[in-house]
Amino acid sequence: ESDYLVTGMPMDDLTRILRGFGHVELVGRAFGVLKFKLAIEDRAARTVDVALPRRERSTGHGHRDFEIEYDPELPVEQDLRRRDFTINAIALPLAAHGRRAAPALVDPYGGLQDIRDNIIRIVDPAAFEQDPLRMLRACQFAARFEYALERGTFESVTKHAALVATVSPERVQQELNKLLLRAEQPSIGLWLMQRSGLLEEVVPELAAGAGVDQPGDFHRYDVFQHSIKTVDHVPRDRGLVLRLAALLHDVAKPGCRQRDGGRVHFYGHDRQGELAARAVLERLRYPRDTVQAVCSLVRQHMFAYPETERGLRRLIAKTGVAGFYDLVDLRRADILAQGRAGEGTTAVLDRFEQLATAEIRQKRPFSLADLAVDGDDLQREFGLRPGPALGRLLGHLLEHVLEHPARNHRDALLEEAARRLARGGGPP
């Protein structure tokens, strides 16, 4: 990703010149930023930001609370001062491209050395006061690049953590998504958020798990540590829903902890966890389908392994095929993150997944769409009308083939429907 800065040229002249080569869109005259795309027949052609140097003066804690003044004559070094971190405050003179000698970087704040040292450092001591979202971004970058926060930067996050409450939920969500989707080990950033106090401001339900121990034969870590390690054990390419479910799967454990006969239990934390996860996700303005998918996984993450093939088919029917594999992968990550008996002991789960995959590959019926008949067939055959009762009859047929998958053909299902209707178990 490249951003371009043009000095020594007024906005009107820059716009006129660029329009001779492609499409130009002015993002905001006050910001002095253009969106530019070359007019070439190439699907890979990217839209890039072209900006004039500018000064910014913070007038509040929001990312829009700035007075902006763009100045074509402003030195590049002064423009770079408004950047968040030193690693982002480096410029490469465009005229240097094509030269044999290595181009001289404009690096007034030591960003290149911080890259070599794997350090995240703010440019301006007031950076987090100017835009508190930068604190979340610092943790996201630390996890994404596996860098450390420079001591003064971490201390500044700790000092200003409460300011993140002024950031809109949508922006917090976007930064959390980047952390979960771009980092191999999101736990690095989540741990920094917990230590600095950011997590208490953003997801206090998750922060409450810190220090809540889980005595017994399985868990080495407290609830919070186990939760963030579970996220790490979900491969990044498995997507946002599964990593969110891993993050929140034990979110209700602190409130469900109880002693019974000298042992610690967390009875009902899966059901209570669904409610807590929903509250977190809705507060952060996640889309409804994401909320539903995550909450379904949290609610079911303590599922028992079915003892029969029929029970296995019912579980797959309940979750859907894709949802079933999500649930299995969540269980695997949960086991691996236990830290004691869990590490390397997924043999039972692996065997269970193999059995389920064998059922799925045989194209067993797991949903109404898999039935060899549909509502239209039943209406024509028996003179039925659309309505809830017809839906219940279809549901009965699905239950029938989950128990007897070989009977998923038209004649057998119509026979079963007739039997059900004769017993008074279907539509009048």
pLDDT value for 57: 67
Task: Please say which residue of 156, 171, 199 terminates a domain.
Answer: 199
| Percentage of the chain lying above the pLDDT 70 cut | 90
Same domain, 67 and 139: no
Task: Please say which residue of 315, 331, 361 terminates a domain.
Answer: 361
Determine contact, residues 22/38, Cβ cutoff 8 Å: yes
Residue carrying the six token digits 């030269």: 99
Q: pLDDT, tens digit, for every residue of 106-126?
A: 999 999 999 999 999 999 999
In a domain, 94, yes or no: no
Determine contact, residues 79/105, Cβ cutoff 8 Å: no
Same domain, 309 and 354: yes
Q: Residue 287: which CATH number?
A: 1.10.3210
Mean pLDDT of the chain: 88
Same domain, 246 and 314: yes
Same domain, 41 and 119: no
Same domain, 357 and 217: yes
Q: pLDDT, tens digit, for every residue of 402-417?
A: 999 999 999 999 999 9
3-state class of 414 per DSSP?
A: helix
In a domain, 98, yes or no: no
Same domain, 336 and 221: yes
Same domain, 173 and 185: yes
Same domain, 207 and 174: no
- Distance (Å, rounded) from C-alpha 116 to C-alpha 253? 41
Has residue 159 got a pLDDT over 80? yes
Cα-based distances in Å from 120 to 63, 112, 382 = 20, 11, 71
pLDDT value for 30: 56
Same domain, 252 and 223: yes
Domain count across the chain: 4
Same domain, 233 and 325: yes
- Distance (Å, rounded) from C-alpha 220 to C-alpha 88? 39
Same domain, 250 and 349: yes
Q: Among positive and negative, which fits the CA dihedral 174, 176, 177, 183?
A: positive
3-state class of 3 per DSSP?
A: strand
Cα Rg, the chain, nearest whole Å: 28
CA 256 to chain centre: 26
In a domain, 97, yes or no: no
- Distance (Å, rounded) from C-alpha 359 to C-alpha 313? 8
- Distance (Å, rounded) from C-alpha 244 to C-alpha 293? 10
Has residue 62 got a pLDDT over 60? no
Same domain, 355 and 385: no
Domain range for 20 is: 1-82
Q: pLDDT, tens digit, for every residue of 24-58?
A: 888 755 566 888 888 776 666 788 888 888 877 66
| Mean pLDDT value across residues 378-400 | 91
